[in-house]
Amino acid sequence: MSCLGFAGEEAGDSFTISLQEGADTCAATVTEKFIISSVVGAEGADTGAATLVEQFVISSVTGTEGADTGAVTLSGAGSPADVTNLTGWWAGDQGVTIVTGVSNWADQSGNGNALVQATTGKQPVRDASALHGLPGIHADGVDDFLTAAFTLAEPYTISGVMRVATAGVAGVHDILTDGNGAQFLTGCVVLDSTPQEYMYAGALSPTVPTAGNPFANYVTFMAVFNGSSSALYIGNTLYNSGNVGNSRGNPGGLTLFAAANGTRSSPGIVTELTIHSKAVTSGDRAILQTYLANKFAL
């Protein structure tokens, strides 16, 4: 059997592949959110296996003896846990402990890497309806930050949804750093006049930081730290790439909204954040981006 046609729309819909006698393998491609890499059937069999390489997994393709059309049904939605090497996963709608502000943001990866802040005056607040009715963690840009200690070394990928304010704030303000000073992602240098973003792990990427603040509005982002093959994606677009270096060796966890020592606090809101201990593939990137964009309607 071979593929003659393919049609479908959203998650949970039925997809129809038209099949023809005479071949055992067919390939189909969808130009929307889903890409199917292959549909394989056995001689004389009515059922073939299909593989989906983006967000959703197809469990089976079924057909009727003597018929040329089989139905394909999506069996589940992707999440950060579907990408291997998940190290940390923090979601604003799960695991947030409030004292005065946020004292503990539990890790949903199962690795126990909670982001914490014991000092009440430095605790960010939880905005219950930060983005399209979903909560986020909001730092004041003065002294708020959260931190978690865990082992992490290049290559690694940090992704999520966030917004970082610029108005009325000047100077260097760290968005995400590690626990011992090797910075993950630093944003908004001299915010009032020439805001700019750069990634750093011993060398700036690029040599001259990209002008502007890509986080001025809520966006999905993905920062891949992989030496000379490092890259920053905003939404589906490659925003920046270059060599971030790796001279800092073994970053010691994560600090959110500030440098590792709590200085240079950033006035931002994060609704979800993940870290994977690898340079993600294009297929991984599609899973993460689609998951975040669908959840937060971006």
At residue 99's C-alpha, the angle toward residues 96 and 104, to 5°, is 35
Of 132, 139, 133, give the one whose Cα is nearest residue 117.
139
Rounded distance, CA 115 to CA 40, Å?
45
Domain with CATH 2.60.120.200 in the chain: 80-296
- Give the pLDDT confidence score for residue 160 in this predicted structure: 95
Reduced DSSP (H G I as helix, E B as strand, rest coil) percent helix, strand, coil of the chain, to 5: 10, 45, 45
The architecture that CATH gives domain 80-296 is Sandwich (2.60)
User: pTM surpassing 0.75?
Assistant: no
What is residue 190's predicted lDDT score, i.e. its pLDDT? 35
Cis preceding-peptide flag for 206 (omega within 30 of 0): yes
Q: What is the C-alpha separation between 120 and 101, in angstroms, rounded?
A: 7
* Tens digits of residue pLDDT in 141-165: 889 999 998 888 888 899 999 998 7
75-120 pLDDT tens trace:
445 899 999 999 999 999 999 999 999 999 999 999 999 999 999 9
pLDDT at 264: 79
The per-residue pLDDT for 97 is: 97
pLDDT digits (tens, 9 = 90+) for 12-33: 444 444 444 444 444 444 333 4
pLDDT tens, residue by residue, 195-219: 667 777 776 665 556 667 788 889 9
| % of residues, the chain, pLDDT over 90 | 37
